[in-house]
Amino acid sequence: MLSKYSKQMSSGAQEMDGLSRKDLDDANLARMGKRPVLKRNFGLMSMLGFSCTILITWEGIVVLFLQAYANGGPAGAVYGFLFVWAGVAATFVVLSELASMAPTSGGQYHWTSMLAPRSCMKLMSYLTGWLTVIGWQATFATSCYLVGTLIQGLVILTNSTYEPKNWHPTLLFWAVVAFSVAINSVGGKVLPRFEGMILIIHILGFFAILIPLTYMADHGTSKEVFTQFLNTGGFPSQGLSFFVGTVGCIFAFAGGDAAVHMSEEITNAAVAVPTSIMLSVLINGSLGFGMLIAMLFCSGDLGSSLESPTGWPFMAIFLEATGSVAGTAVMASIVTTMGATTSVGMLASTSRQFWSFARDRGIPGWRLWSQVTESSAIPIYSVLITSLISCLLALISIGSPVAFNDLCSMSISGLYLSYMVVGSLLLWRRCTGGISTARNSNSDVINTAGAKLVWGPFHLPGIWGILINAWALIYMTIAVFFTFWPTSWVVSVETMNYSVVGTFGTIILSLFYYYARARNVYTGPVMEHVL
Protein backbone atom coordinates (compact mmCIF):
# COMPACT_ATOMS: atom_id res chain seq x y z
CA MET A 1 0.00 0.00 0.00
CA LEU A 2 2.81 2.38 0.78
CA SER A 3 4.29 1.83 -2.67
CA LYS A 4 0.90 2.60 -4.22
CA TYR A 5 1.09 6.12 -2.80
CA SER A 6 4.83 6.73 -2.78
CA LYS A 7 5.04 6.26 -6.56
CA GLN A 8 2.67 9.19 -6.95
CA MET A 9 4.17 11.48 -4.33
CA SER A 10 7.20 13.70 -4.49
CA SER A 11 8.58 15.89 -1.73
CA GLY A 12 7.13 19.41 -1.78
CA ALA A 13 4.82 18.69 -4.71
CA GLN A 14 2.13 16.47 -3.29
CA GLU A 15 -0.88 18.36 -4.56
CA MET A 16 0.48 18.58 -8.14
CA ASP A 17 0.65 14.80 -8.46
CA GLY A 18 -3.12 14.66 -8.78
CA LEU A 19 -3.74 12.85 -5.51
CA SER A 20 -6.91 13.62 -3.61
CA ARG A 21 -6.72 14.89 -0.03
CA LYS A 22 -7.91 11.48 1.15
CA ASP A 23 -5.14 9.71 -0.76
CA LEU A 24 -2.56 12.02 0.77
CA ASP A 25 -3.88 11.34 4.27
CA ASP A 26 -3.92 7.61 3.67
CA ALA A 27 -0.38 7.75 2.28
CA ASN A 28 0.84 9.62 5.36
CA LEU A 29 -0.89 7.05 7.57
CA ALA A 30 0.78 4.27 5.60
CA ARG A 31 4.17 5.89 6.26
CA MET A 32 3.49 5.31 9.96
CA GLY A 33 2.79 1.64 9.32
CA LYS A 34 -1.01 1.75 9.47
CA ARG A 35 -3.62 0.60 6.98
CA PRO A 36 -6.50 3.08 6.45
CA VAL A 37 -9.75 1.30 7.34
CA LEU A 38 -11.89 4.14 8.72
CA LYS A 39 -13.68 6.71 6.57
CA ARG A 40 -12.52 10.33 6.68
CA ASN A 41 -15.89 12.00 7.20
CA PHE A 42 -14.68 14.85 9.42
CA GLY A 43 -13.47 18.23 8.18
CA LEU A 44 -11.87 21.05 10.13
CA MET A 45 -15.14 22.69 11.26
CA SER A 46 -16.81 19.44 12.32
CA MET A 47 -13.65 18.44 14.19
CA LEU A 48 -13.54 21.87 15.85
CA GLY A 49 -17.12 21.26 16.97
CA PHE A 50 -16.08 17.82 18.19
CA SER A 51 -13.15 19.20 20.21
CA CYS A 52 -15.08 22.13 21.68
CA THR A 53 -18.07 20.07 22.73
CA ILE A 54 -15.89 17.40 24.33
CA LEU A 55 -14.34 20.03 26.60
CA ILE A 56 -17.61 21.99 27.24
CA THR A 57 -15.64 24.11 29.70
CA TRP A 58 -18.26 26.74 30.46
CA GLU A 59 -20.87 24.04 31.13
CA GLY A 60 -18.38 22.24 33.37
CA ILE A 61 -17.70 25.46 35.28
CA VAL A 62 -21.44 25.93 35.89
CA VAL A 63 -21.71 22.43 37.31
CA LEU A 64 -18.42 22.26 39.24
CA PHE A 65 -17.45 25.84 40.15
CA LEU A 66 -18.30 25.35 43.85
CA GLN A 67 -15.45 22.85 44.16
CA ALA A 68 -13.01 25.68 43.51
CA TYR A 69 -15.14 28.05 45.60
CA ALA A 70 -15.04 25.78 48.67
CA ASN A 71 -11.26 25.41 48.55
CA GLY A 72 -9.93 28.74 47.40
CA GLY A 73 -12.97 30.99 47.61
CA PRO A 74 -14.05 33.36 44.82
CA ALA A 75 -10.52 34.70 44.34
CA GLY A 76 -9.09 31.19 44.39
CA ALA A 77 -11.58 30.10 41.73
CA VAL A 78 -10.59 33.02 39.47
CA TYR A 79 -6.82 32.64 39.79
CA GLY A 80 -7.08 28.86 39.84
CA PHE A 81 -8.90 28.93 36.51
CA LEU A 82 -6.22 31.15 34.97
CA PHE A 83 -3.51 28.84 36.30
CA VAL A 84 -5.24 25.78 34.85
CA TRP A 85 -5.96 27.53 31.53
CA ALA A 86 -2.27 28.44 31.13
CA GLY A 87 -1.23 24.90 31.99
CA VAL A 88 -3.80 23.31 29.70
CA ALA A 89 -2.75 25.57 26.81
CA ALA A 90 0.87 24.44 27.18
CA THR A 91 -0.21 20.82 27.45
CA PHE A 92 -2.33 21.16 24.32
CA VAL A 93 0.66 22.61 22.45
CA VAL A 94 2.62 19.45 23.29
CA LEU A 95 -0.26 17.21 22.23
CA SER A 96 -0.71 19.21 19.03
CA GLU A 97 2.95 18.85 18.10
CA LEU A 98 2.74 15.09 18.60
CA ALA A 99 -0.58 14.81 16.76
CA SER A 100 0.96 16.70 13.85
CA MET A 101 3.89 14.29 13.78
CA ALA A 102 1.82 11.11 14.04
CA PRO A 103 -1.95 11.62 13.58
CA THR A 104 -3.19 8.14 14.48
CA SER A 105 -6.08 6.94 16.64
CA GLY A 106 -3.60 5.41 19.07
CA GLY A 107 -2.37 8.77 20.26
CA GLN A 108 -0.31 8.56 23.44
CA TYR A 109 0.85 4.95 23.31
CA HIS A 110 1.88 5.32 19.65
CA TRP A 111 3.82 8.49 20.45
CA THR A 112 5.52 6.74 23.36
CA SER A 113 6.61 3.90 21.09
CA MET A 114 8.19 6.29 18.58
CA LEU A 115 9.90 8.51 21.18
CA ALA A 116 11.06 6.05 23.85
CA PRO A 117 14.45 4.30 23.81
CA ARG A 118 14.20 0.91 22.16
CA SER A 119 15.23 -0.87 25.37
CA CYS A 120 12.07 0.19 27.22
CA MET A 121 9.78 1.10 24.34
CA LYS A 122 7.46 -1.89 24.57
CA LEU A 123 6.65 -1.67 28.29
CA MET A 124 6.39 2.13 28.32
CA SER A 125 4.09 2.12 25.32
CA TYR A 126 1.95 -0.61 26.85
CA LEU A 127 1.54 1.23 30.17
CA THR A 128 0.77 4.51 28.40
CA GLY A 129 -1.93 2.74 26.39
CA TRP A 130 -3.56 1.48 29.55
CA LEU A 131 -3.34 4.89 31.24
CA THR A 132 -5.21 6.33 28.26
CA VAL A 133 -7.78 3.52 28.44
CA ILE A 134 -8.32 4.25 32.15
CA GLY A 135 -8.64 7.99 31.55
CA TRP A 136 -11.11 7.77 28.68
CA GLN A 137 -13.26 5.02 30.14
CA ALA A 138 -13.54 7.01 33.38
CA THR A 139 -14.23 10.26 31.51
CA PHE A 140 -17.06 8.75 29.47
CA ALA A 141 -18.62 7.10 32.53
CA THR A 142 -18.34 10.31 34.56
CA SER A 143 -19.98 12.34 31.79
CA CYS A 144 -22.94 9.95 31.56
CA TYR A 145 -23.34 9.87 35.34
CA LEU A 146 -23.32 13.65 35.64
CA VAL A 147 -25.99 13.90 32.96
CA GLY A 148 -28.11 11.31 34.77
CA THR A 149 -27.94 13.27 38.02
CA LEU A 150 -28.61 16.54 36.18
CA ILE A 151 -31.79 15.08 34.67
CA GLN A 152 -32.82 13.89 38.12
CA GLY A 153 -32.18 17.40 39.47
CA LEU A 154 -34.44 18.86 36.78
CA VAL A 155 -37.20 16.43 37.74
CA ILE A 156 -36.86 17.44 41.41
CA LEU A 157 -36.95 21.11 40.40
CA THR A 158 -40.14 20.80 38.35
CA ASN A 159 -41.99 18.05 40.23
CA SER A 160 -42.38 18.52 43.97
CA THR A 161 -43.97 15.06 44.40
CA TYR A 162 -41.02 13.16 42.98
CA GLU A 163 -39.06 11.00 45.44
CA PRO A 164 -35.47 10.51 44.22
CA LYS A 165 -33.76 7.13 44.60
CA ASN A 166 -30.10 6.16 44.19
CA TRP A 167 -30.90 3.85 41.30
CA HIS A 168 -32.72 6.50 39.25
CA PRO A 169 -29.51 8.19 37.99
CA THR A 170 -28.24 4.76 36.96
CA LEU A 171 -31.24 4.23 34.67
CA LEU A 172 -30.79 7.73 33.26
CA PHE A 173 -27.07 6.97 32.84
CA TRP A 174 -27.96 3.93 30.73
CA ALA A 175 -30.33 6.06 28.64
CA VAL A 176 -27.50 8.51 27.86
CA VAL A 177 -25.24 5.58 26.90
CA ALA A 178 -27.96 4.18 24.61
CA PHE A 179 -28.33 7.59 22.94
CA SER A 180 -24.56 7.81 22.44
CA VAL A 181 -24.39 4.31 20.97
CA ALA A 182 -27.22 5.10 18.56
CA ILE A 183 -25.45 8.17 17.12
CA ASN A 184 -22.11 6.38 16.97
CA SER A 185 -23.51 3.31 15.22
CA VAL A 186 -25.14 5.04 12.26
CA GLY A 187 -21.92 5.79 10.42
CA GLY A 188 -21.45 8.07 7.45
CA LYS A 189 -21.56 11.82 8.06
CA VAL A 190 -24.11 11.66 10.88
CA LEU A 191 -21.56 12.10 13.68
CA PRO A 192 -19.66 15.00 12.01
CA ARG A 193 -22.90 16.85 11.25
CA PHE A 194 -24.17 16.18 14.75
CA GLU A 195 -20.98 17.66 16.24
CA GLY A 196 -21.21 20.72 13.99
CA MET A 197 -24.78 21.33 15.16
CA ILE A 198 -23.79 20.94 18.82
CA LEU A 199 -21.04 23.56 18.39
CA ILE A 200 -23.76 26.09 17.53
CA ILE A 201 -25.73 25.15 20.66
CA HIS A 202 -22.52 25.33 22.69
CA ILE A 203 -21.93 28.95 21.63
CA LEU A 204 -25.56 30.16 21.69
CA GLY A 205 -26.27 28.36 24.96
CA PHE A 206 -23.50 30.32 26.64
CA PHE A 207 -25.26 33.59 25.91
CA ALA A 208 -28.70 32.11 26.68
CA ILE A 209 -27.52 31.57 30.26
CA LEU A 210 -25.07 34.44 30.71
CA ILE A 211 -27.45 37.23 29.69
CA PRO A 212 -30.44 36.44 31.96
CA LEU A 213 -28.17 35.44 34.83
CA THR A 214 -26.15 38.66 34.85
CA TYR A 215 -29.17 40.85 34.09
CA MET A 216 -31.59 39.45 36.68
CA ALA A 217 -29.36 38.39 39.59
CA ASP A 218 -28.12 40.56 42.43
CA HIS A 219 -24.40 41.17 42.02
CA GLY A 220 -21.58 40.82 44.49
CA THR A 221 -18.69 43.27 44.67
CA SER A 222 -15.41 43.14 42.82
CA LYS A 223 -13.59 43.01 46.15
CA GLU A 224 -15.46 39.85 47.15
CA VAL A 225 -14.81 38.13 43.85
CA PHE A 226 -11.16 39.01 43.31
CA THR A 227 -9.75 39.24 46.86
CA GLN A 228 -11.72 36.84 49.06
CA PHE A 229 -10.07 33.47 49.71
CA LEU A 230 -11.73 30.58 51.56
CA ASN A 231 -10.53 27.33 53.09
CA THR A 232 -13.68 25.41 54.02
CA GLY A 233 -11.82 22.10 53.73
CA GLY A 234 -9.77 22.98 56.80
CA PHE A 235 -6.37 22.54 55.14
CA PRO A 236 -3.25 23.73 57.03
CA SER A 237 -2.59 26.53 54.54
CA GLN A 238 -4.49 28.62 52.03
CA GLY A 239 -2.05 27.59 49.31
CA LEU A 240 -2.78 23.91 49.83
CA SER A 241 -6.51 24.62 49.80
CA PHE A 242 -6.09 26.59 46.56
CA PHE A 243 -4.44 23.71 44.69
CA VAL A 244 -7.00 21.17 45.93
CA GLY A 245 -9.72 23.49 44.62
CA THR A 246 -8.25 23.58 41.11
CA VAL A 247 -9.37 19.98 40.44
CA GLY A 248 -12.83 21.19 39.36
CA CYS A 249 -11.29 23.54 36.78
CA ILE A 250 -8.93 20.80 35.61
CA PHE A 251 -11.85 18.46 34.99
CA ALA A 252 -13.66 21.22 33.06
CA PHE A 253 -10.80 21.01 30.53
CA ALA A 254 -10.62 17.19 30.54
CA GLY A 255 -10.49 15.38 27.20
CA GLY A 256 -8.10 17.60 25.28
CA ASP A 257 -6.82 14.64 23.27
CA ALA A 258 -10.30 13.73 21.97
CA ALA A 259 -9.58 14.91 18.44
CA VAL A 260 -6.35 12.90 18.41
CA HIS A 261 -8.20 9.60 18.59
CA MET A 262 -10.35 10.62 15.61
CA SER A 263 -7.27 11.38 13.48
CA GLU A 264 -7.92 8.54 11.05
CA GLU A 265 -11.39 9.95 10.32
CA ILE A 266 -10.48 13.53 9.42
CA THR A 267 -9.05 14.99 6.22
CA ASN A 268 -5.68 16.75 6.42
CA ALA A 269 -5.25 15.34 9.91
CA ALA A 270 -1.70 16.60 10.49
CA VAL A 271 -2.99 20.18 10.26
CA ALA A 272 -6.68 19.93 11.19
CA VAL A 273 -6.21 18.03 14.46
CA PRO A 274 -3.69 20.49 15.99
CA THR A 275 -5.75 23.43 14.73
CA SER A 276 -8.96 22.11 16.31
CA ILE A 277 -7.17 21.33 19.58
CA MET A 278 -5.65 24.80 19.93
CA LEU A 279 -8.81 26.62 18.86
CA SER A 280 -10.85 24.57 21.33
CA VAL A 281 -8.66 25.62 24.28
CA LEU A 282 -8.93 29.25 23.16
CA ILE A 283 -12.71 29.18 22.68
CA ASN A 284 -13.54 27.07 25.72
CA GLY A 285 -11.10 28.89 27.96
CA SER A 286 -12.61 32.25 27.05
CA LEU A 287 -16.20 31.08 27.49
CA GLY A 288 -15.35 29.21 30.68
CA PHE A 289 -13.66 32.20 32.28
CA GLY A 290 -16.55 34.48 31.35
CA MET A 291 -19.08 32.07 32.86
CA LEU A 292 -16.98 31.64 36.02
CA ILE A 293 -16.88 35.40 36.60
CA ALA A 294 -20.65 35.59 36.03
CA MET A 295 -21.36 32.74 38.45
CA LEU A 296 -19.16 34.28 41.15
CA PHE A 297 -20.77 37.72 40.86
CA CYS A 298 -24.29 36.26 40.74
CA SER A 299 -24.00 33.41 43.24
CA GLY A 300 -26.12 35.12 45.89
CA ASP A 301 -26.74 33.14 49.09
CA LEU A 302 -24.48 30.12 48.61
CA GLY A 303 -25.54 28.70 51.95
CA SER A 304 -29.05 28.04 50.71
CA SER A 305 -27.76 26.99 47.29
CA LEU A 306 -25.68 24.23 48.86
CA GLU A 307 -28.85 22.84 50.44
CA SER A 308 -30.75 22.75 47.14
CA PRO A 309 -32.98 19.64 46.97
CA THR A 310 -31.92 19.19 43.33
CA GLY A 311 -28.43 18.28 44.49
CA TRP A 312 -27.01 20.96 42.17
CA PRO A 313 -26.27 24.40 43.69
CA PHE A 314 -26.18 26.07 40.26
CA MET A 315 -29.89 25.32 39.81
CA ALA A 316 -30.61 27.16 43.08
CA ILE A 317 -28.47 30.09 41.87
CA PHE A 318 -30.44 30.22 38.61
CA LEU A 319 -33.72 30.04 40.54
CA GLU A 320 -32.72 32.84 42.91
CA ALA A 321 -31.67 34.99 39.96
CA THR A 322 -34.72 34.45 37.75
CA GLY A 323 -37.40 33.79 40.37
CA SER A 324 -38.93 31.38 37.88
CA VAL A 325 -38.96 27.59 37.99
CA ALA A 326 -39.69 27.47 34.26
CA GLY A 327 -36.84 29.85 33.44
CA THR A 328 -34.47 27.91 35.67
CA ALA A 329 -35.53 24.64 34.03
CA VAL A 330 -34.80 26.05 30.56
CA MET A 331 -31.36 27.32 31.59
CA ALA A 332 -30.46 24.09 33.37
CA SER A 333 -31.75 22.08 30.40
CA ILE A 334 -29.18 23.76 28.16
CA VAL A 335 -26.39 22.57 30.44
CA THR A 336 -27.94 19.09 30.65
CA THR A 337 -28.39 18.86 26.89
CA MET A 338 -24.77 19.80 26.29
CA GLY A 339 -23.72 17.14 28.79
CA ALA A 340 -25.75 14.49 26.98
CA THR A 341 -24.44 15.46 23.57
CA THR A 342 -20.81 15.59 24.70
CA SER A 343 -21.19 11.96 25.79
CA VAL A 344 -21.66 11.09 22.12
CA GLY A 345 -18.24 12.47 21.22
CA MET A 346 -16.65 10.97 24.31
CA LEU A 347 -17.90 7.52 23.30
CA ALA A 348 -16.41 8.04 19.84
CA SER A 349 -12.98 9.00 21.20
CA THR A 350 -13.01 6.33 23.90
CA SER A 351 -13.94 3.57 21.48
CA ARG A 352 -11.40 4.69 18.83
CA GLN A 353 -8.58 4.70 21.35
CA PHE A 354 -9.69 1.29 22.64
CA TRP A 355 -9.94 -0.02 19.07
CA SER A 356 -6.49 1.25 18.15
CA PHE A 357 -4.88 -0.30 21.24
CA ALA A 358 -6.65 -3.56 20.43
CA ARG A 359 -5.42 -3.30 16.82
CA ASP A 360 -1.90 -3.33 18.24
CA ARG A 361 -2.74 -6.29 20.54
CA GLY A 362 -2.56 -4.45 23.85
CA ILE A 363 -5.98 -5.52 25.19
CA PRO A 364 -7.35 -8.98 26.05
CA GLY A 365 -9.64 -10.15 23.25
CA TRP A 366 -7.93 -7.84 20.76
CA ARG A 367 -9.00 -9.91 17.76
CA LEU A 368 -12.66 -9.05 18.39
CA TRP A 369 -12.28 -5.45 19.54
CA SER A 370 -10.06 -4.54 16.57
CA GLN A 371 -12.67 -5.50 13.98
CA VAL A 372 -14.27 -2.79 11.82
CA THR A 373 -17.60 -3.22 10.05
CA GLU A 374 -17.14 -2.90 6.30
CA SER A 375 -20.43 -1.18 5.55
CA SER A 376 -20.13 1.70 8.05
CA ALA A 377 -16.35 1.60 8.70
CA ILE A 378 -16.99 1.81 12.46
CA PRO A 379 -15.24 -0.27 15.15
CA ILE A 380 -18.64 -1.32 16.45
CA TYR A 381 -17.35 -3.96 18.86
CA SER A 382 -15.16 -1.38 20.60
CA VAL A 383 -18.14 0.97 20.77
CA LEU A 384 -20.22 -1.76 22.40
CA ILE A 385 -17.60 -2.94 24.90
CA THR A 386 -16.89 0.66 25.93
CA SER A 387 -20.61 1.18 26.51
CA LEU A 388 -20.90 -2.07 28.46
CA ILE A 389 -17.98 -1.14 30.73
CA SER A 390 -19.62 2.22 31.50
CA CYS A 391 -22.99 0.60 32.19
CA LEU A 392 -21.35 -1.76 34.67
CA LEU A 393 -19.51 1.11 36.34
CA ALA A 394 -22.87 2.86 36.75
CA LEU A 395 -23.90 0.15 39.21
CA ILE A 396 -21.36 1.56 41.68
CA SER A 397 -23.48 4.67 42.14
CA ILE A 398 -26.39 2.61 43.48
CA GLY A 399 -24.33 1.51 46.47
CA SER A 400 -22.11 4.58 46.84
CA PRO A 401 -22.45 7.79 44.81
CA VAL A 402 -19.33 9.07 46.63
CA ALA A 403 -17.23 6.16 45.34
CA PHE A 404 -18.48 6.76 41.81
CA ASN A 405 -17.53 10.43 42.02
CA ASP A 406 -13.91 9.33 42.33
CA LEU A 407 -14.12 8.40 38.64
CA CYS A 408 -13.84 12.12 38.00
CA SER A 409 -10.39 12.08 39.55
CA MET A 410 -9.48 8.86 37.73
CA SER A 411 -10.26 10.48 34.39
CA ILE A 412 -7.83 13.29 35.17
CA SER A 413 -5.08 11.07 36.60
CA GLY A 414 -5.27 8.52 33.78
CA LEU A 415 -5.19 11.04 30.96
CA TYR A 416 -2.67 13.39 32.56
CA LEU A 417 -0.26 10.56 33.42
CA SER A 418 -0.33 9.52 29.77
CA TYR A 419 0.31 13.16 28.77
CA MET A 420 3.25 13.30 31.18
CA VAL A 421 4.88 10.22 29.66
CA VAL A 422 4.77 11.54 26.09
CA GLY A 423 5.58 15.11 27.18
CA SER A 424 8.70 13.95 29.03
CA LEU A 425 9.88 11.86 26.09
CA LEU A 426 9.25 14.73 23.66
CA LEU A 427 11.25 17.14 25.84
CA TRP A 428 14.13 14.64 25.93
CA ARG A 429 14.06 14.20 22.15
CA ARG A 430 13.87 17.90 21.37
CA CYS A 431 16.73 18.71 23.77
CA THR A 432 18.94 15.99 22.28
CA GLY A 433 18.12 16.84 18.67
CA GLY A 434 16.46 13.54 17.93
CA ILE A 435 13.74 14.91 15.64
CA SER A 436 14.37 15.97 12.04
CA THR A 437 12.78 19.00 10.41
CA ALA A 438 12.82 17.65 6.85
CA ARG A 439 11.61 14.51 5.13
CA ASN A 440 14.05 12.78 2.81
CA SER A 441 11.93 10.36 0.83
CA ASN A 442 8.19 9.95 0.65
CA SER A 443 8.66 6.19 0.74
CA ASP A 444 10.31 6.30 4.17
CA VAL A 445 8.52 4.91 7.19
CA ILE A 446 8.49 7.68 9.82
CA ASN A 447 7.19 8.48 13.30
CA THR A 448 6.59 4.97 14.53
CA ALA A 449 8.59 2.53 16.68
CA GLY A 450 12.20 2.37 15.51
CA ALA A 451 11.65 4.73 12.56
CA LYS A 452 12.96 8.19 11.77
CA LEU A 453 11.37 11.03 13.76
CA VAL A 454 10.16 14.02 11.75
CA TRP A 455 8.36 17.16 12.96
CA GLY A 456 4.89 17.68 11.54
CA PRO A 457 3.41 20.93 10.15
CA PHE A 458 2.56 22.14 13.68
CA HIS A 459 5.81 22.70 15.53
CA LEU A 460 7.08 25.25 18.06
CA PRO A 461 10.84 25.40 17.45
CA GLY A 462 13.79 26.46 19.54
CA ILE A 463 13.84 27.64 23.13
CA TRP A 464 10.13 28.50 23.17
CA GLY A 465 9.23 24.91 22.38
CA ILE A 466 11.47 23.69 25.21
CA LEU A 467 10.10 26.20 27.74
CA ILE A 468 6.44 25.48 26.94
CA ASN A 469 7.10 21.74 27.01
CA ALA A 470 8.77 22.10 30.44
CA TRP A 471 5.95 24.28 31.81
CA ALA A 472 3.39 21.74 30.60
CA LEU A 473 5.18 19.00 32.55
CA ILE A 474 5.29 21.14 35.72
CA TYR A 475 1.58 21.85 35.41
CA MET A 476 0.68 18.21 34.73
CA THR A 477 2.68 17.06 37.76
CA ILE A 478 0.75 19.47 39.99
CA ALA A 479 -2.58 18.44 38.45
CA VAL A 480 -2.00 14.71 38.92
CA PHE A 481 -0.68 15.14 42.46
CA PHE A 482 -3.72 17.04 43.71
CA THR A 483 -6.16 14.85 41.82
CA PHE A 484 -5.61 12.21 44.50
CA TRP A 485 -6.36 14.55 47.42
CA PRO A 486 -9.65 14.56 49.35
CA THR A 487 -11.69 17.76 49.50
CA SER A 488 -11.17 18.22 53.26
CA TRP A 489 -8.20 17.83 55.60
CA VAL A 490 -10.12 15.64 58.07
CA VAL A 491 -10.85 12.51 56.07
CA SER A 492 -13.75 10.12 56.61
CA VAL A 493 -15.03 7.16 54.66
CA GLU A 494 -17.38 9.52 52.81
CA THR A 495 -14.77 12.16 51.95
CA MET A 496 -11.85 9.85 51.12
CA ASN A 497 -10.62 10.04 47.52
CA TYR A 498 -10.27 6.46 46.30
CA SER A 499 -9.17 7.36 42.78
CA VAL A 500 -5.56 6.45 43.54
CA VAL A 501 -6.75 2.91 44.26
CA GLY A 502 -8.67 2.73 40.99
CA THR A 503 -5.90 4.24 38.87
CA PHE A 504 -2.97 2.25 40.22
CA GLY A 505 -5.09 -0.85 40.77
CA THR A 506 -5.85 -0.92 37.05
CA ILE A 507 -2.17 -0.34 36.25
CA ILE A 508 -1.20 -3.29 38.46
CA LEU A 509 -3.77 -5.51 36.75
CA SER A 510 -2.50 -4.43 33.33
CA LEU A 511 1.07 -5.25 34.41
CA PHE A 512 -0.09 -8.67 35.56
CA TYR A 513 -1.65 -9.27 32.16
CA TYR A 514 1.49 -7.96 30.46
CA TYR A 515 3.83 -10.44 32.16
CA ALA A 516 1.29 -13.25 31.91
CA ARG A 517 0.53 -12.85 28.20
CA ALA A 518 0.75 -9.41 26.57
CA ARG A 519 4.56 -9.29 26.44
CA ASN A 520 4.41 -12.22 24.02
CA VAL A 521 1.91 -10.54 21.67
CA TYR A 522 2.35 -6.77 22.20
CA THR A 523 5.36 -5.30 20.43
CA GLY A 524 4.18 -1.73 20.04
CA PRO A 525 2.40 -0.37 16.94
CA VAL A 526 2.00 -3.20 14.43
CA MET A 527 3.31 -2.67 10.90
CA GLU A 528 0.25 -3.62 8.88
CA HIS A 529 1.88 -5.00 5.71
CA VAL A 530 2.63 -1.60 4.23
CA LEU A 531 6.17 -2.27 3.03
Given this model, what pLDDT does residue 480 score?
92
User: Contact at 8 Å (CB) between 88 and 80?
Assistant: no
**How many other C-beta atoms lie within 10 A of the C-beta of residue 180?**
29
d(CA 455, CA 458): 8
Whether pTM > 0.85 for this model: the answer is yes
Given this model, what pLDDT does residue 402 score?
66
d(CA 366, CA 358): 4
d(CA 461, CA 124): 26
Range of the domain at 252: 44-486+497-520
Given this model, what pLDDT does residue 374 score?
81
Domain-located, residue 9: no
User: Contact at 8 Å (CB) between 442 and 425?
Assistant: no
Domain-located, residue 37: no
Given this model, what pLDDT does residue 165 score?
86
Q: How many domains does the chain have?
A: 1
Domain-located, residue 19: no
Domain-located, residue 452: yes
Given this model, what pLDDT does residue 18 score?
52
Domain-located, residue 492: no
Domain-located, residue 17: no
Low-confidence ranges of the chain (pLDDT < 50): 1-17, 531
Given this model, what pLDDT does residue 66 score?
82
Q: Which of 195, 314, 165 is nearest to 265 (CA)?
A: 195
Given this model, what pLDDT does residue 15 score?
42
**In whole angstroms, how far apart are CA 424 and each of 119, 322, 414, 430, 474?**
17, 49, 16, 10, 10
Domain-located, residue 33: no
The domain spanning residue 222 has which CATH number? 1.20.1740.10
Domain-located, residue 346: yes
Given this model, what pLDDT does residue 10 score?
38
DSSP conformation letters of 340-384: HHHHHHHHHHHHHHHHHHHHTT-STTHHHHT---TTT---HHHHH
